[in-house]
Amino acid sequence: MTKQDILNEVERQMGLLDEEAKRAVSAALDLVLPTAPPPGAPAPSQPALAWQGENPPFEEMTKLNVDERSRIIQELEDRNLAWLQARCDELKAGWLLVIDGQVLRCGSTLVNYLQEAEIEALTQQTGKFPLIYVHPRLLWIEEITSWLATSYPGDFYPISVSKIVLRGHLFQHDVDDPEQLSLTVATRRQVAIYTGPSIFS
């Protein structure tokens, strides 16, 4: 509905408006109606996301304890979360290694994740502690607890099944006997099932 259509409807419902009333209604409509760009004008673009901050120097980070290093890197990740997710979408990546807003390495799955020696070489080369971001869509964990009936009426015990999916690979851990471990690993090509003594008991 255009501004003129609204003015016509107001006059239809209320009767003819004098010029001052028309200007008042028109000014009110200007405040609430979105203004359309003129024909042929380029569509407004979203402001580009910018990286905020710098990765900390590697030497300084080695002097801190693990909790302090984790806190600093987590703050950098939180500040740049929208930027990181946008780069993952743009690069079709599941993980990124970023130093000062530059994506130095990325991959679509954890299969092509960096080796420790590669990460160490990049930190030596740049002198910076890297931010390694793993997109949430690459990893999800699901835990299901169901109840299994015993031979006694009204008596049940829990069975826990944990599933971890890493981009096309399923790792399933079924726990119904604390002395036994049943682990299922499924990929697109094969399924491996291990049942044996639990490493957790």
Whether residue 129 contacts residue 61, with contact meaning beta carbons closer than 8 Å, is answered with yes
Give the pLDDT of residue 159: 63
Give the pLDDT of residue 168: 47
Give the pLDDT of residue 144: 54
Sheet holding 139-149, edge to edge: 139-149, 156-166, 169-175, 180-186, 191-197
Give the pLDDT of residue 109: 82
Give the pLDDT of residue 140: 62
User: Within 10 Å of residue 80's Cβ, how many Cβ atoms?
Assistant: 21
Environment class of 131 (CB within 10 Å of its CB; exposed 0-12, middle 13-18, buried 19+): buried
Give tens-digit pLDDT for 136-193: 887 765 455 566 677 788 777 666 555 555 544 444 545 555 444 444 444 444 444 4
Whether residue 131 contacts residue 99, with contact meaning beta carbons closer than 8 Å, is answered with yes
CA distances 92 to 85, 95, 102, 111, 138, Å, are 10, 9, 16, 15, 11
Give the pLDDT of residue 34: 60
Give the pLDDT of residue 182: 46
Quick check: pTM over 0.75? no
Give the pLDDT of residue 160: 57
DSSP string, 168-198: TEEEEEEES-TTEEEEEEE-SS-EEEEEEE-
For residue 28 the two structure tokens come to 């009110």
Whether residue 128 contacts residue 93, with contact meaning beta carbons closer than 8 Å, is answered with no
Give tens-digit pLDDT for 22-66: 887 777 777 666 665 556 655 555 567 899 999 999 999 999 998
Give tens-digit pLDDT for 70-125: 999 999 999 999 999 999 999 999 899 999 999 999 998 877 788 888 988 999 99
